[in-house]
Structure 1
Amino acid sequence: VTGVVQQIVRAAQDYLQGKRNTLNEDDMEKESCPALGEGGDSGGLIPGKSLVFATMELLMFILVRHMPHLSTKMSDSPSHVATKTRLSEESARLVAATVTILSDLPSLCSPAGCMTILPTILFLIARILKDTAIKSADNQVPPPVSAALQGIKSIVTLSMAKTEETQKQWTALIRSTLACILEYSQPEDSLPAPDEVSMLTAIALLLWSASSEIIGVQSLQNGCMNRFKNALNSCDPWVQAKCYQLLLSVFQHSNRALSTPYIHSLAPIVVEKLKAVERNRPASNTELLAVQEGIKVLETLVALGEEQNRVQLLALLVPTLISYLLDENSFASASTASKDLHEFALQNLMHIGPLYPHAFKTVMGAAPELKVRLETAVRASQASKAKAAARQPAPTVHSAPTIKLKTSFF
């Protein structure tokens, strides 16, 4: 059923896009130009005549069948108990397909029509994310969660929903959606632990794509920062690694009004976590990945910093990387992950030096012990490479035969 519905929606999208393409810019700017898409200027969807309304009815029926608690009748019942149950493979596939179609429906509507259906769609996507984003041992993301995250991304980047007439409603929708996700990401004693990475991804998507609607709302900003702090302090290195990746996207956001408060609040925690690695070196590939992703964040902060602050920023990064270097005796007995961290740190230091030569020399000159440790590591690396090259067998040189046949038979 969902496959047929998806084809119908795509056909409607193609038809509507064709109509939009036939209108030139002058027509679109005229006040008398009708709003293309269902809902028109009023936003009303007429049951029995609206494809969007009929599709939402069908999709809601499918969702309630597989996730009954989404029905307000059931959730408002005194006997209802909130639970999180893992969907069967078939149910998960159907719910994911349903979410994908739901997130496509706004593209069939006019701006006013979008404002009619988006509250319901965003509510459903947020609830599905809450109920299916359950932490698992293998860190696999269920299909409904992937579909929900993709749906959020599709909706928040939907240009036709952001018009002058709908801006106020759109802003309220984005803020309420983020508030819901922040609430849903809170662990509850009676329910399975939420998947922090999926919830944090949803938060980052909203921050990245709808920054202008969120900037200045202190309660939302504090909530987002707290979720990032919790992930940074997680005991799970996988959560830490993904948190660093998402944090990097926020720090790199072009809107400094969004990124700067997060940098000021979270960068000190990142530095503290990375400095602690010297005392607690990674013992697994996942722990190593977390450290590497954290260093990428710190390197990005150095690159984003102004020239006059470069020395201060490198004074955080360079000593941290040098602290990861092992001496020759320790290297021999170190674990594979610890050796890989040593190599990672050394390669990054060799890259940073030429990139910021003046600031790098200033930092190294202020701490002679750092210079000695780095030079020792470089010499050891060069000696190791020389030994490895010496152990390589010399290429075999085939001497020419003393007797050559005048005629080749091959």
Structure 2
Amino acid sequence: MSCLQALFTLLESPWAKTHIAEDQLLAVELLNVLHRLLLTRDPPAVQLQVTAVVQETIRAAQDHLQRQRTSKGKEEEGEKDSQPSLGEGGETGELVPGKSLVFAAMELLVFILVRHLPQLNTRVKESPSHVALRPQRLPEESARLVANTVSILAGLPSLCSPAGGMTILPTVLFLITGVLRETAVKTADNSVPVPVSAALQGIKTIITSPLARVESMQTQWTGLVRSSLASVLENSQPDESRPDMDEVSMLTAITLFLLSASNELVGVTALQKGCMDRFRNALNSSDPWVQARCYQLLLSVFQHSSRALSTPYIHALAPLMVEKLKAVERSRPGTAAELQAVQEGIRVLENLVGMGEEQNRVQLLALLVPTLVSYLLDENAISSAPQVSKALHDFALQNLMRIGPLYPAAFKIVIGAAPELKIRLESAIRANQASSRAKAAARQAQPTVQAAPTIKLKTSFF
């Protein structure tokens, strides 16, 4: 352990980083030694320290390669695809065992992942004696170790040439999506386990990597991204064998694909339908936390700069959203979580109104305004209503009073077309004003309390 800590400290120095980055065989040998160490040392603390050393070694190599790319880029400025072979794999994509730092790192990292998540080993699954394990929450040290490993994995393609990157990416994405599948487990406090956070960040890192812009790799890249999204969709499908699956984490992964990849990649019908189904399932969830997060994620999809991507989702899911929000009038929220879900849904609907074209504003407000008015309580019922119900009333009234000045003409048309809406809104405004006046009067009527003197004389002279 002391040797590992010393190695880590040594690799923090610029000189050591430069030296090990320039001598790749030395770096490969170091990772091989660490791999052999893992075979004999089981404590998670040792494994964590090993991953720290590996991380520093990879960073040193990344910095060195970046300097090379920058230098060569200046020399060959203006030449298209002037650096196709820089990085491991060259033009062929071949990674030679014993000479490749990426290959050595992959061996070590796969060993760690399979040690803590044996379900990732496809050979184990194929064994006749294999018993399927349910995803479960890892112990704290194991969770940190898996998260560190995933973070390193996601950075390995940056050490490769485009061809080399395509050689390892299928394995890297298979492992990262596998970690997501096996560790995305619901928690009592709705917190996100660290391996899940690392997997989500890893997916984003890879999808937004420069490889996505290499023209010669577009066919392979397209197939890889689509295949990975299909895997996430399959893993997020409701399954009785996985009752504790964290829908929110899986939905977040799907959203990352939609936001980070181009519509040409993820807009194919089969994938689009699968994504819409997962959002639909979340909207219909009985868990208000899942609903709230679904609304938040949907908003990011609806606001995507590519209308070709966002429009199908708006058309497919907005009607269900409106239906769910209208149903709140009959079944008002009873908890803070349920209230939050409704509020998030209304925010999405408000954003849709803002995104709509001027000629469609009246139709959009005709969905939003009556829904908000339906949340208003009768002035005689406000005082006896539960706190959460009052909060919904206040939220709806504040939004209505803000929306009116934003779209005055369209708002006036919607309110004027339904007299009952106008009556109910005016009643709520009067009640709110009366309440505000009463509170102000109560504050003014409070007697002024004479402050006690800060200094008292010990002797009375009277």
TM-score (norm 2): 0.83
Instruction: Quote the residue 1:365 is aligned against.
Output: 416
The one of 254, 266, 288 equivalent to 2:305 is: 254
Instruction: Quote the residue 2:130 is aligned against.
Output: 80
Aligned: 1:19 with 2:68? yes
Per-residue CA distance 1:311-354 (angstroms, 9 max, x = gap) = 00000000000100111221111111111111111111111111
The amino acid of 2:207's aligned partner reads V
Per-residue CA distance 1:252-287 (angstroms, 9 max, x = gap) = 111111111111110000000000001111111100
Aligned: 1:157 with 2:208? yes
After TM superposition, the structure 1 stretch with the greater mean CA deviation from structure 2, 227-236 or 89-98, is: 89-98
Instruction: Quote the residue 1:41 is aligned against.
Output: 91
**How far off its partner does 1:86 sit?**
2.8
The alpha-carbon distance between structure 1 residues 216 and 161, as it changes in their structure 2 partners (threshold 3 A), is closer
The alpha-carbon distance between structure 1 residues 392 and 160, as it changes in their structure 2 partners (threshold 3 A), is same
Distance 1:237 1:389 in 2: 36
Distance 1:172 1:206 in 2: 13
**How far off its partner does 1:74 sit?**
1.1
Per-residue CA distance 1:353-376 (angstroms, 9 max, x = gap) = 111011000101101111111111
Answer yes or no: is the 8 Å Cα contact 1:42–1:112 preserved in 2. Answer: yes
Instruction: Quote the residue 2:115 is aligned against.
Output: 65
The alpha-carbon distance between structure 1 residues 387 and 244, as it changes in their structure 2 partners (threshold 3 A), is same
Instruction: Quote the residue 1:375 is aligned against.
Output: 426
The one of 267, 284, 289 equivalent to 2:340 is: 289
Q: SS at 2:95's partner residue? A: coil
Distance 2:205 2:97 in 1: 26
Answer yes or no: is the 8 Å Cα contact 1:41–1:110 preserved in 2. Answer: yes
**How far off its partner does 1:291 sit?**
0.3
**How far off its partner does 1:216 sit?**
3.9
Distance 2:389 2:83 in 1: 65
Distance 2:97 2:215 in 1: 28
Distance 1:173 1:25 in 2: 33
The amino acid of 2:89's aligned partner reads G
Distance 2:372 2:83 in 1: 61
Instruction: Quote the residue 1:311 is aligned against.
Output: 362
Aligned: 1:53 with 2:53? no
The amino acid of 2:59's aligned partner reads R
1:329-408 to 2 correspondence within 5 Å? 329-393=380-444
Distance 1:137 1:214 in 2: 36
The alpha-carbon distance between structure 1 residues 397 and 46, as it changes in their structure 2 partners (threshold 3 A), is same
After TM superposition, the structure 1 stretch with the greater mean CA deviation from structure 2, 146-155 or 83-92, is: 83-92
Per-residue CA distance 1:280-307 (angstroms, 9 max, x = gap) = 1111110000000000110111111111
Answer yes or no: is the 8 Å Cα contact 1:298–1:317 preserved in 2. Answer: yes
The amino acid of 1:219's aligned partner reads A
Instruction: Quote the residue 2:32 is aligned against.
Output: none
Instruction: Quote the residue 1:193 is aligned against.
Output: 244
**How far off its partner does 1:380 sit?**
0.9
- Consecutive unaligned residues in structure 1, runs of 5 or more: 399-410
Instruction: Quote the residue 1:211 is aligned against.
Output: 262
Answer yes or no: is the 8 Å Cα contact 1:197–1:243 preserved in 2. Answer: yes
Distance 1:43 1:16 in 2: 16
**How far off its partner does 1:87 sit?**
1.6
Per-residue CA distance 1:126-182 (angstroms, 9 max, x = gap) = 111111112233222111111111111111111234310011111101100010011
Answer yes or no: is the 8 Å Cα contact 1:12–1:108 preserved in 2. Answer: yes
Per-residue CA distance 1:31-90 (angstroms, 9 max, x = gap) = 664532211221111111111111111000111111112222212111112212332111
Aligned: 1:137 with 2:188? yes
Distance 1:297 1:31 in 2: 42
The one of 167, 171, 177 equivalent to 2:218 is: 167
The amino acid of 1:255's aligned partner reads S
**Number of residue-to-residue matches in the alignment:** 399
**How far off its partner does 1:222 sit?**
0.7
Distance 1:41 1:285 in 2: 57
Q: SS at 1:73's partner residue? A: helix
After TM superposition, the structure 1 stretch with the greater mean CA deviation from structure 2, 94-103 or 205-214, is: 205-214
The one of 94, 99, 102 equivalent to 2:150 is: 99
Distance 1:96 1:16 in 2: 25
Distance 1:389 1:191 in 2: 55
Instruction: Quote the residue 1:128 is aligned against.
Output: 179
Answer yes or no: is the 8 Å Cα contact 1:321–1:349 preserved in 2. Answer: yes
TM-score (norm 1): 0.93
Per-residue CA distance 1:9-40 (angstroms, 9 max, x = gap) = 12222222222222228436256645322112
After TM superposition, the structure 1 stretch with the greater mean CA deviation from structure 2, 126-135 or 26-35, is: 26-35
- Consecutive unaligned residues in structure 2, runs of 5 or more: 1-49, 451-462
Q: SS at 1:27's partner residue? A: coil
Per-residue CA distance 1:191-240 (angstroms, 9 max, x = gap) = 34311100000000001111334344111111111100000000000000
Aligned: 1:8 with 2:57? yes
